[in-house]
Amino acid sequence: MPQLDPAAFRAPIREQLGLDDVVPGNRGCPQPLRWIYLHTLRELAQHCGHADILREQLLARRSDESLLPEMTTA
Protein backbone atom coordinates (compact mmCIF):
# COMPACT_ATOMS: atom_id res chain seq x y z
CA MET A 1 0.00 0.00 0.00
CA PRO A 2 1.57 3.35 -0.97
CA GLN A 3 2.19 5.89 1.77
CA LEU A 4 0.51 9.28 1.41
CA ASP A 5 2.57 12.35 2.17
CA PRO A 6 0.35 14.84 4.06
CA ALA A 7 2.71 17.74 3.33
CA ALA A 8 2.59 17.03 -0.40
CA PHE A 9 -1.21 16.83 -0.20
CA ARG A 10 -1.44 20.26 1.47
CA ALA A 11 1.19 21.97 -0.72
CA PRO A 12 -1.24 23.02 -3.50
CA ILE A 13 -3.60 24.46 -0.89
CA ARG A 14 -0.79 26.46 0.76
CA GLU A 15 0.34 27.79 -2.62
CA GLN A 16 -3.16 29.05 -3.43
CA LEU A 17 -3.86 30.80 -0.13
CA GLY A 18 -2.02 33.65 1.53
CA LEU A 19 -1.78 34.23 5.27
CA ASP A 20 -4.26 37.10 5.07
CA ASP A 21 -6.84 35.11 3.10
CA VAL A 22 -10.02 34.43 5.03
CA VAL A 23 -11.33 30.88 5.30
CA PRO A 24 -14.32 29.34 7.12
CA GLY A 25 -13.37 28.90 10.76
CA ASN A 26 -14.58 26.42 13.34
CA ARG A 27 -16.06 29.20 15.49
CA GLY A 28 -18.85 29.89 13.05
CA CYS A 29 -17.20 32.90 11.45
CA PRO A 30 -14.50 33.42 8.83
CA GLN A 31 -10.92 33.52 10.13
CA PRO A 32 -7.69 34.71 8.50
CA LEU A 33 -5.41 31.80 7.72
CA ARG A 34 -2.68 33.55 9.73
CA TRP A 35 -4.86 33.37 12.88
CA ILE A 36 -5.60 29.68 12.27
CA TYR A 37 -1.89 28.85 11.90
CA LEU A 38 -0.95 30.83 15.02
CA HIS A 39 -3.78 29.29 17.04
CA THR A 40 -2.67 25.81 15.95
CA LEU A 41 0.94 26.52 16.95
CA ARG A 42 -0.17 27.87 20.34
CA GLU A 43 -2.32 24.81 21.02
CA LEU A 44 0.51 22.50 19.99
CA ALA A 45 2.95 24.29 22.31
CA GLN A 46 0.48 24.10 25.19
CA HIS A 47 -0.05 20.37 24.73
CA CYS A 48 3.70 19.80 24.48
CA GLY A 49 4.05 21.63 27.78
CA HIS A 50 1.42 19.39 29.36
CA ALA A 51 3.20 16.29 28.06
CA ASP A 52 6.48 17.57 29.49
CA ILE A 53 4.90 18.05 32.92
CA LEU A 54 3.45 14.51 32.83
CA ARG A 55 6.83 13.09 31.81
CA GLU A 56 8.56 14.89 34.70
CA GLN A 57 5.95 13.60 37.16
CA LEU A 58 6.37 10.03 35.92
CA LEU A 59 10.15 10.24 36.18
CA ALA A 60 9.89 11.67 39.70
CA ARG A 61 7.52 8.90 40.76
CA ARG A 62 9.81 6.24 39.30
CA SER A 63 12.75 7.80 41.14
CA ASP A 64 10.80 7.90 44.42
CA GLU A 65 9.76 4.27 44.05
CA SER A 66 13.34 3.17 43.44
CA LEU A 67 14.38 4.81 46.72
CA LEU A 68 11.87 2.79 48.76
CA PRO A 69 13.32 -0.25 50.54
CA GLU A 70 12.34 -3.57 49.07
CA MET A 71 9.40 -5.05 50.95
CA THR A 72 9.82 -8.70 51.71
CA THR A 73 7.22 -11.04 53.03
CA ALA A 74 8.15 -12.93 56.17
Distance CA 11, CA 32 (A): 18
Q: Are 25 and 7 in contact (CB under 8 A)?
A: no
Upper half-sphere CA count for residue 44 (Cβ side, 13 Å): 6
**Average pLDDT per 10 consecutive residues for the chain, totaling 74 residues:** 72 80 84 91 90 89 74 52
Distance CA 12, CA 41 (A): 21
Report pTM.
0.56
46-to-8, 24, 32, 55, 57 alpha-carbon distances in Å: 27, 24, 21, 14, 17
